[in-house]
Structure 1
Amino acid sequence: MPKRMKICINTGGGDAPGLNAVIEAVTMAAYNRQWEVYGIKSGYAGLLNTDEIIHLTPEKVDGIASVGGTILGSTNKGNPFKMPIANAAGEWEERDLSDKVMENFRRLRFDALVAVGGDGSLEIAHRFAEKGMPVVGVPKTIDNDMGGTVITFGFDTAVSIATEAIDRLHSTAKSHDRIMVVEVMGRDAGFIALNSGISGNADAIMIPEIPFDIEKVCDKVMDNELHGRKYGIVVVAEGAIPMGGNVITKGSGEVGRQHVVLGGMAEHVAREISKRTGKDSRSMVLGHLQRGGSPTTFDRLLALRFGAAAVRAIEQGKFDHMVGLHSPDIALVPLGEALGIHKRVQTDGDTVLTARDLGICFGD
């Protein structure tokens, strides 16, 4: 008889539509093999404080594939290898608590972990695999910048939300002859800005891969004016970089965060456009709207496929691997290999060329 496995699953990093679908798929695929499944709450916190572990059953995950967020909670400041701990003096210092995580994992007799997350979370999973933990990764990021997969779940939903917002802004911008600058997520990669900007008929798109000259963006705005279009839509990724400048941040963020907090590029661009052209320019930050709500059909199905494939990978003993979409199939990719690929927008690729053929300005 095949071994009855006892597996666990966690979700780490920023939330994304489709996380609950992965949890549902893992739970159902495991139970159909007569395995036990447990949910680790708040990333790896549940393996440090084992009160944060819940038994997952078909009844508990019934219908959650359509629900946004994650029933297990998530965090982007819970790296057990660099856990922020307050010392006796009240100062924060980083400690390596990974051995305690390993100890609790073994004490609880788990046979495998399904780690769902982006590059930061899967880097942690890979390090635990190197310490001997049987891990299968599931890639998740709305930015779509993970290597080893054609696309990640959450991206399609984020683009759909951004495109709908841009569509709505056209009417108000036109009514007041305004320039509307929309900031979308995209720290290192501009996939959301690019796809939503093209689909939403933007006049200019700024992405991290193409440093922009604000003067060229203003030239596009004024050229529109000459052709009778007195309003404009500009889409900017939060990680967009001016030529010779830097990204705009809100500071270092909370203790334990893996990254500084970006934000403010849309406001900066709107201010510069207004100053240089005299046009009334307003900024809007979509922010966490892109992460929230029910996943699209595409994201829901992809997440379900990823979750079921992760259970099959455990069954095959394919640990320290990640599931990924290699159209039309789901493939297994070594985690180390996937983490070594930093996917970015191809500046000479078809999508960028399409935007240029449509007359969209990138500020270069």
Structure 2
Amino acid sequence: MKVGLLTGGGDCPGLNAVIRSVVRRIANAGGECVGVLEGWRGLVRGNTRPLSVAETDALIGLGGTILGSSRTNPYKNPETDVPLLRRHFAALELDALVVIGGDDTLGVAVRLINDFELPIVGIPKTIDNDLKLVDFSFGFDTAVNVVVESVERLRTTAESHRRVIVVETMGRSTGWIACFAGMAVGADYILVPEVPIDVPHLLGVLKYHRTPFKNHAIVMVAEGARYTDPELLALEPRPFSHPRLGGIGASIAEIIERQTRIETRTVVLGHLQRGGAPTAHDRILATRFGLAAGELVLQRRFGTVVTLKDARISETSLNTTALANCPLDLGFYQDAATFFYEPYEPKTKE
């Protein structure tokens, strides 16, 4: 078999480990692999490269993706890009295409399957851990560990200057990274998209926990966290086109400093969370995903996507229902919130 591979959307640690394992599975069966460069853009433009076991075997610990990535969606220009994509797919004489990406990239795959019955197998990828297809996605563990390491470094300067530091993490619509990293570093407060921001409670907790023995605080906030108070909504950043989130950390820091008179700083970790070598957990998970996808290709079980449920690798039909969003399990948040304690003080009668 001749199998194409592409990686689309945001990069994340573990993508090269996936590529390595797909190539190995197909090669062991006597097939060959072709890398499509820069996601769907590569198939529209016909940009590819051969992939061999020899050149991919050492990739397991390398971050990013050797194939490059983009957020190109051929259905944004369906009259030109979709025919070009199909023409290049046919010219390459591919028997199958393994698509590695999040809901946008896999959403294109769903349309190509439905419209043209392209032989596609999907592998879910998101550091935000926001797809119901998987209990945990590769790249997520690495991102959490990057945040934890960064916050441990920030804590010493927060202690030295008696500051509050607001750390803004990725998390467009879910708070998995903020919640898990916040729990791991013992954050004084965590703000996530799934739970409306309660500013009075946040301020009360920070004031209550500030003592001579603890003169600093760490507040974790996911980039997608939102206010509910109409007066505070005006402080939220307003994107002009495609939503590019960010800025909620600075807004929270401004409120904290204004209301508490405690010096407060903001750190936006941004794309640091995407970069670097994957953790051992993500290397293993990515390898298992790639091997499973390669096996689905060899069995010609197209129109499927790899899943992870209860530590078991399986597959399901690749369709829009399968790509549903997975919000943070609030059980984790409730455990974390045990430490956001502000004692109840009953009002005294006058």
1:71-86 aligned within 5 A: 71-76=66-71, 78-83=72-77
Find out whether 1:326 has 2:327 as its counterpart. Answer: no
Q: In structure 2, which of residues 18, 25, 29 is the aligned counterpart of residue 22 of structure 1?
A: 18
Cα distance in 2 for residues equivalent to 1:20 and 1:177:
42
| Aligned counterpart, 1:91 | none
Cα distance in 2 for residues equivalent to 1:332 and 1:248:
40
Q: In structure 2, which of residues 274, 288, 292 is the aligned counterpart of residue 305 of structure 1?
A: 288
Q: In structure 2, which of residues 153, 166, 169 is the aligned counterpart of residue 181 of structure 1?
A: 166
Q: In structure 1, which of residues 43, 61, 67 is the aligned counterpart of residue 62 of structure 2?
A: 67
Cα distance in 2 for residues equivalent to 1:360 and 1:159:
24
- Per-residue deviation, 1:285: 0.5
- Per-residue deviation, 1:318: 1.6
2:131–2:323 contact (8 Å) kept in structure 1: no
CA RMSD of aligned residues (A): 1.8
Q: Which runs of 5 or more structure 1 residues have no equivalent in the other structure?
A: 84-93, 254-258
> What do the CA deviations read for 1:266-291 (whole angstroms, capped 9, x no partner)?
11111110001000000000001000
Q: In structure 1, which of residues 185, 190, 197 is the aligned counterpart of residue 182 of structure 2?
A: 197
1:107-122 aligned within 5 A: 107-122=91-106
1:113–1:134 contact (8 Å) kept in structure 2: yes
2:133–2:323 contact (8 Å) kept in structure 1: no
Find out whether 1:58 has 2:20 as its counterpart. Answer: no
Instruction: Describe the shift of the 1:137–1:249 C-alpha distance in structure 2 as closer, same or farther (beyond 3 A).
Output: farther
Find out whether 1:153 has 2:138 as its counterpart. Answer: yes
| Aligned counterpart, 2:335 | 354
> What do the CA deviations read for 1:57-84 (whole angstroms, capped 9, x no partner)?
11221211100000000012x000104x
| Aligned counterpart, 2:348 | none
- Per-residue deviation, 1:327: 2.6
Q: What letter is aligned with 1:282?
A: R
Cα distance in 2 for residues equivalent to 1:356 and 1:261:
28
- Per-residue deviation, 1:250: 6.6
- Normalised to the residue count of structure 1, the TM-score between the two structures is 0.89
- Per-residue deviation, 1:246: 7.7
1:43–1:74 contact (8 Å) kept in structure 2: yes
| Aligned counterpart, 1:44 | 40
Instruction: Describe the shift of the 1:140–1:360 C-alpha distance in structure 2 as closer, same or farther (beyond 3 A).
Output: farther
Q: Which runs of 5 or more structure 2 residues have no equivalent in the other structure?
A: 343-350
Q: What letter is aligned with 1:314?
A: V
Cα distance in 2 for residues equivalent to 1:132 and 1:49:
21
Q: In structure 1, which of residues 102, 109, 120 is the aligned counterpart of residue 86 of structure 2?
A: 102
- Per-residue deviation, 1:324: 1.4
Cα distance in 2 for residues equivalent to 1:109 and 1:65:
28
Instruction: Describe the shift of the 1:246–1:192 C-alpha distance in structure 2 as closer, same or farther (beyond 3 A).
Output: farther
SS of 1:65's equivalent?
coil
Cα distance in 2 for residues equivalent to 1:251 and 1:96:
29
- Normalised to the residue count of structure 2, the TM-score between the two structures is 0.92
> What do the CA deviations read for 1:93-129 (whole angstroms, capped 9, x no partner)?
x855212212221222101100000111110111111
Q: 244-253 or 221-230, which moves further after superposition?
A: 244-253
Instruction: Describe the shift of the 1:26–1:197 C-alpha distance in structure 2 as closer, same or farther (beyond 3 A).
Output: same
| Aligned counterpart, 1:125 | 109
Q: What letter is aligned with 1:99?
A: P
1:215-226 aligned within 5 A: 215-226=200-211
Cα distance in 2 for residues equivalent to 1:25 and 1:234:
39
Find out whether 1:144 has 2:129 as its counterpart. Answer: yes
Instruction: Describe the shift of the 1:13–1:340 C-alpha distance in structure 2 as closer, same or farther (beyond 3 A).
Output: closer
Q: What letter is aligned with 1:316?
A: Q
> What do the CA deviations read for 1:24-65 (whole angstroms, capped 9, x no partner)?
111111111110100000011222222x10010112212111
Instruction: Describe the shift of the 1:252–1:41 C-alpha distance in structure 2 as closer, same or farther (beyond 3 A).
Output: farther
Cα distance in 2 for residues equivalent to 1:352 and 1:62:
39
- Per-residue deviation, 1:356: 2.2
Aligned residues: 338
> What do the CA deviations read for 1:180-229 (whole angstroms, capped 9, x no partner)?
00000000000000000011110010000001022221111111125742
Q: In structure 2, which of residues 230, 240, 265 is the aligned counterpart of residue 282 of structure 1?
A: 265
Instruction: Describe the shift of the 1:340–1:36 C-alpha distance in structure 2 as closer, same or farther (beyond 3 A).
Output: closer
SS of 1:330's equivalent?
strand
Identity %, equivalent residues? 38
1:240–1:247 contact (8 Å) kept in structure 2: no
> What do the CA deviations read for 1:119-178 (whole angstroms, capped 9, x no partner)?
111101111111210110000010000121111100000000001111222221111110
| Aligned counterpart, 1:273 | 256
Cα distance in 2 for residues equivalent to 1:325 and 1:120:
19
